[in-house]
Amino acid sequence: MTNEGHNYLTLSTGVVRKDASTTQVRINSVNLDPDDQRQITIQVFDWTTGSPTQIGTDINVTLDPNKSDSSTVALLVTVTDYEIRVKVPNDEDVIVNTFGETALGAMIGANTVLFKDLVKLSLV
């Protein structure tokens, strides 16, 4: 996947054990480039059975220069373990953080994975 000459990286939260009060995940992203748009793709997987099942479809986000976006994905009560993957440009202009939230949008600290903690995947 390329955009405007950028190669892409796939970053992962790893498998996260869902807090009992978490009903949704929020993915906040920002493009700090002052001039150019960036594209990212978000995927959320249910790992409850020990194998990944994608929740919903890919979320494609266009980030305008110096703009942020927030995407939310609902988690069924039956989901106990989940993973968030984000395809981002291989540059230093996009930052992504992920959070677990209650139905009212209160952040669950135990389900927070910050950009610096996301792991680069090498999917073949």
Instruction: Centre a 10 Å sphere on the Cβ of residue 92 and count the other Cβ atoms it contains.
Output: 8
Give which of 91, 96, 83, 89 is closest to 27, Cα–Cα.
Answer: 96
CA 62 vs. chain centroid, Å, equals: 14
CA 105 vs. chain centroid, Å, equals: 16
pLDDT tens profile 49-101: 999 999 999 999 999 999 999 999 999 999 999 999 999 999 999 999 999 99
Would you say 113 and 81 are in contact if contact means Cβ atoms under 8 Å apart? Answer: no
**Is position 124 within any domain?**
no
In the predicted structure, residue 2 carries a pLDDT above the cut 70 = no
Q: Which letter does DSSP use for residue 6 in this model?
A: B
**Is position 104 within any domain?**
yes
Q: What is the CATH number of the domain that holds 21?
A: 2.60.120
pLDDT over 70, % of the chain? 94
In the predicted structure, residue 39 carries a pLDDT above the cut 60 = yes
Domain count, the chain: 1
**Is position 3 within any domain?**
no
Supply the range of the domain harboring residue 24.
8-117
**Is position 17 within any domain?**
yes
pLDDT of residue 6: 63
Give, in order, the Cα–Cα distances in Å from 115 to each of 13, 78, 88: 9, 27, 11
Name the amino acid, one letter, at 18. K
pLDDT tens profile 13-31: 999 999 999 999 999 999 9
In the predicted structure, residue 1 carries a pLDDT above the cut 60 = no
**Is position 31 within any domain?**
yes
